[in-house]
Structure 1
Amino acid sequence: MLVKQISVFLENKSGRLADVTRTLADNGINICALSIADTTDFGILRLIVNKPEEAEKILGENEFTVSGTSVIAISVEDKPGGLAKALAVLQENNISIEYMYAFVGKNGNSAFVIIRVEKPEEAVKTLSSCDITIIPSQQVYCQ
């Protein structure tokens, strides 16, 4: 039930983000979700792609600093309090969130959210037992 996310360390200079997206596009890899956290000198680009293992290999071969990480994709009700319910479950079970981001994708009245926690397998069990929908990787990876 875990999703593989690709993280790319980028120098904060013009064109680096374009280089990553062009490299992926040239190799037929589709970006399903992304998040960028930056400082003055560098940024971390986090990506959910349709072929994570291939993306990690190709980016590494093209001299990008890249790593893979396990994250959780959940579906929350798209209404006030929908996300709060899932976060309360994690809080009540002492599961800390390292970071999170939402991505385009809806299933009825639900929104999709990516969450990175220290113990993802434990978080999946906890969330599932509290009726929070975990989205399987094959559903997250766009085609």
Structure 2
Amino acid sequence: MDRLDRLFWMLTLVGLVIRVGAVFVWNDYRSPITAAYGIVARNLIAGEGFAGGGWLGPEQPTALNTPLYPLFLTLWLWLPIPLPFPAAELAPALLSAPIIYLIGKIAARVFNPAIGIISAALTMAYPPLIYFCKQISPAI
């Protein structure tokens, strides 16, 4: 592993720490806004099927959301644990951190190593990529 790779992995690790820290600093996992994904997850647990509502009107079967994230959220809500949402917020943080490495590597290959380092550093600190990790949403 060369120096550039080590630097990209270091930036990725720092980005992971920032993202995990954001989940706990914002501290909204005790009663987060789950929007349509939470409605569908709660309906699945209640045996109502893949049904949603909210801004769409009365609850009814929906294809508005892809099924994977509501099923993931359903798993955490179904488990008998006191706080199911930290795991649902930490998973996007863990999945989004490697984006830092990938963007750095791609930029270094397409442009040059300096642009790769700048790109990885900006991705590491880009506020929306940090903020959306702590949202109950698949948007990372």
> Which structure has the highest strand share of the two?
1
In which range does the TM-score fall when normalised by the shorter chain?
under 0.3
Larger radius of gyration: 2
Return the structure number with greater helix share: 2
Q: TM-score by structure 1 length?
A: 0.24
